[in-house]
């Protein structure tokens, strides 16, 4: 494997191989597997889980890592092509990315959703610009429109919990948040659940429909896996019998890039905060999932987050095991 960019690039067998390896490394550690190997981690936006879990994964496999973040340690990084650099940024990604990559055996990049033009973010412009500059294997640590590391960990979490692929009912629900957030996690999650063969419902208020390109990609995955995809604003119908409710907020796609219109639309939607009542008609064993970070009392109530349905800590821990498998395959296979 030369790149971990999108779960959609991998066959079902390749995904299963990564999941099997992740579980094997969890139970049978290989503390010298990546001895002498170096992973570069470039963060263009903040992180807790991705930053810590990649560093921990490298240490557990016997390798090392270094972190570069424009806000932490270095001169500002310019990403725009063709710009006259007379502002704050003293260095351009055109030099910085190849230099960073030249110190490492693989590089992980977290890019940033501009959230100005939907077409630009759907095309993952910034991430793809940096991807083009890499001479070593690349791991997508979240781009404008994808988060494959989160999706692999979430797939493993559902496997660990015994949530059915075929026949499992998965609800990806928009949840209230005061600010417009990127589409990366919802886009990756709807595809992941479809590729896993689940009956997927995207539950969202009017104006927060997922873009056609994201839904179409998920539909193709569902066709291949035997799953299904629906989209609705009818919460009662969506959550009935659900095995998983996965909450996430995202930007209004109707007013993408327009902060004022987006704000107007979401202002009255704080009843989209997940609470215990959402589970009344769900399957008795229904799990609550969220990628974190999450705002308590805003996106979801404490009673759900602290209750037995919540598997958010398991999801976060599985980030490390899933990424250990990706690093193992990327750094050790020709
Ligand atoms: N879920 C996730 O990627 O978390 P961080 O933004 O903290 O890395």
User: For residue 89, what pLDDT is reported?
Assistant: 87
H or E element at residue 291: none
Residue 241 CA to residue 93 CA, distance in Å, equals 48
User: For residue 14, what pLDDT is reported?
Assistant: 98
User: For residue 334, what pLDDT is reported?
Assistant: 67
User: For residue 279, what pLDDT is reported?
Assistant: 98
What is the residue-wise DSSP string for 230-250? EEES-HHHHHTT-SEEEEE--
Report whether 7 contacts 192 (CB < 8 A): yes
22-36, 74-88, 119-133, 205-219: least confident range: 74-88
Whether the per-residue pLDDT at 133 is higher than 70: the answer is: yes
Q: What is the mean pLDDT of the chain?
A: 96
**pLDDT per residue as tens digits for the range 69-105:** 987 656 788 988 999 999 888 899 999 999 999 999 9
State whether the beta carbon of 199 lies less than 6 angstroms from ligand 1. no
To the nearest whole percent, how much of the chain has pLDDT over 90?
Answer: 92
Q: Tell me if residue 147 falls in helix, strand or coil.
A: coil
Residue 132 CA to residue 106 CA, distance in Å, equals 14
User: For residue 72, what pLDDT is reported?
Assistant: 65
Q: Which of the four pLDDT bands, split at 50, 70 and 90, describes residue 56?
A: very high
Whether the per-residue pLDDT at 49 is higher than 90: the answer is: yes
Residue with the smallest CA separation from ligand 1 atom 6 is 47
Atom of ligand 1 nearest to the CA of 292: 1
Asked whether the domain spanning 150-315 has the same topology as the one spanning 3-147+317-332, the reply is yes
Q: 292: CA distance to ligand 1 center in Å?
A: 6
User: For residue 203, what pLDDT is reported?
Assistant: 98
Residue 248, φ and ψ in degrees, nearest 5: -165, 140
State whether the beta carbon of 115 lies less than 6 angstroms from ligand 1. no
Q: 168: CA distance to ligand 1 center in Å?
A: 26
To the nearest whole percent, how much of the chain has pLDDT over 70?
Answer: 99
State whether the beta carbon of 50 lies less than 6 angstroms from ligand 1. yes
> What Rg, from alpha-carbon coordinates, does the chain have?
20
Report whether 45 contacts 110 (CB < 8 A): yes
Query: What Cα–Cα distance (Å) separates residue 146 from each residue in 24, 36, 128, 183?
Result: 26, 30, 12, 8
Topology at the third CATH level for domain 150-315? Rossmann fold (3.40.50)
Topology at the third CATH level for domain 3-147+317-332? Rossmann fold (3.40.50)
**pLDDT per residue as tens digits for the range 146-158:** 999 999 999 999 9
Q: Structural domain boundaries of the chain?
A: 3-147+317-332, 150-315
User: For residue 268, what pLDDT is reported?
Assistant: 92
**Structure tokens, 82:** 């063709």
Report whether 126 contacts 114 (CB < 8 A): yes
State whether the beta carbon of 315 lies less than 6 angstroms from ligand 1. no
Atom of ligand 1 nearest to the CA of 46: 6
State whether the beta carbon of 142 lies less than 6 angstroms from ligand 1. yes
**pLDDT per residue as tens digits for the range 229-274:** 999 999 999 999 999 999 999 999 999 999 999 999 999 999 999 9
């Amino acid at each position: 494997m030369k790149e971990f960019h999108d779960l959609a690039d991998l066959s079902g067998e390749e995904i299963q191989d990564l999941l099997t390896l992740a579980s094997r490394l969890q139970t049978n550690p290989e503390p010298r597997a990546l001895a002498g190997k170096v992973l570069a981690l470039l963060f263009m936006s903040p992180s807790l889980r991705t930053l810590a879990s990649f560093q921990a994964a490298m240490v557990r496999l016997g390798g090392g890592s270094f972190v570069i973040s424009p806000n932490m340690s270095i001169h500002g990084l310019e990403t725009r092509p063709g710009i006259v650099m007379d502002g704050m940024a003293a260095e351009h990604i055109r030099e910085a990315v190849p230099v960073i990559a030249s110190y490492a055996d693989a590089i992980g990049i977290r890019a940033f959703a501009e959230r100005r033009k939907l077409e630009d973010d759907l095309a993952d412009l910034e991430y793809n610009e940096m991807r083009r500059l890499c001479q070593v294997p690349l791991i997508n640590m979240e781009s404008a429109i994808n988060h494959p590391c989160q999706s692999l960990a979430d797939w493993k979490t559902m496997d660990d919990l015994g949530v059915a692929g075929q026949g499992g009912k998965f609800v990806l629900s928009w949840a209230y948040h005061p600010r417009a957030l990127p589409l990366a996690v919802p886009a990756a999650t709807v595809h992941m659940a479809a590729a896993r063969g689940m009956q997927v419902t995207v539950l969202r208020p009017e104006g927060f429909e997922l873009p056609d390109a994201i839904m179409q990609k998920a539909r193709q995955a569902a066709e291949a896996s035997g799953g299904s995809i629906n989209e609705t604003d009818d919460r009662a119908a969506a959550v009935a019998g659900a095995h998983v409710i996965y909450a996430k907020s995202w930007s209004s796609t109707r007013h993408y890039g327009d902060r004022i219109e987006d704000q107007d639309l979401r202002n009255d939607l704080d009843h989209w905060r997940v609470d215990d009542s959402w589970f009344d008609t769900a399957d008795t064993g229904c799990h609550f999932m969220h990628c974190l970070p999450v705002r308590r009392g805003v996106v979801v109530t404490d009673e759900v987050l602290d209750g037995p349905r919540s598997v958010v800590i398991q999801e976060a821990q599985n980030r490390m095991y899933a990424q250990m498998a990706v690093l193992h395959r990327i750094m050790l296979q020709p």
